[in-house]
């Protein structure tokens, strides 16, 4: 099921009211997993978490350079599953999943899809709610438009969300549309160096 990025962002941050919804029994605890586009010091993760109000909590676990394979190594995956279990008593654990930039360099689309389904399924089994997020666009331009080189990876992310019966956020399209609207020169503002 598709969640428009702006809608989810403002709903979660409480900046926009929508149709009446039931009050959650427990506040959310967000666990953000992904690559550098999520990670501390440059990704969107910390900005998102800065909008949370107590008693909601969040933890940015994005790792620069990571893939759906490498992120699960070095004890990170086991720690996440353990922390989801521990959070269930007092919180609604929600895990955002955004990969693709680095997977594109090393994995086939089929392997990427399989890995995402596995991640989402295991999060659900642990008692968490996965939300899949398509990759933030790259800012590579050709003839005045963004080169959409992550479009197939975004489609696999959406398909994986469907396979897991989870929500997804179409950040790739939203960010591509935004970067196209501001143009190549203005998009350089987002460079870290």
- pLDDT, tens digit, 9 for 90 and up, residues 80-131: 999 999 999 999 999 999 999 999 899 999 999 999 999 999 999 999 999 9
Domains along the chain with CATH numbers: 2-10+29-190 (3.40.50.1110)
Stronger pLDDT, 6 or 28, i.e. the higher one: 28
Specify the 3-state DSSP secondary structure of 4.
coil
């Amino acid at each position: 099921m598709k969640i428009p990025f702006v809608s989810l962002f403002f709903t979660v941050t409480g900046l926009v009211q929508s149709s009446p919804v039931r009050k959650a029994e427990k506040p959310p605890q967000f666990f953000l997993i992904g690559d550098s586009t999520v990670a501390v010091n440059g990704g969107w993760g910390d900005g998102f978490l800065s909008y949370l109000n107590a008693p909601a909590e969040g933890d940015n676990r994005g790792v620069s350079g990571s893939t759906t394979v490498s992120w699960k190594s070095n004890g990170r995956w086991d720690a996440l599953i353990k922390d989801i279990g521990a959070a269930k008593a007092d919180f609604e654990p929600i895990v955002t999943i955004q990969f693709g930039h680095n997977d594109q360099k090393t994995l086939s689309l089929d392997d990427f899809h399989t890995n995402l389904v596995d991640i989402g399924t295991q999060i659900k089994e642990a008692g968490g709610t996965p939300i899949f997020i398509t990759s933030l666009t790259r800012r590579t331009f050709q003839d005045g438009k963004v080169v959409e080189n992550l479009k197939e990876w975004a489609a696999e992310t959406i398909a994986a969300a469907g396979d897991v019966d989870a929500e997804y956020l179409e950040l790739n399209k939203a960010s591509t549309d935004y970067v196209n609207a501001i143009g190549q020169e203005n998009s350089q503002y987002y460079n870290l160096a």
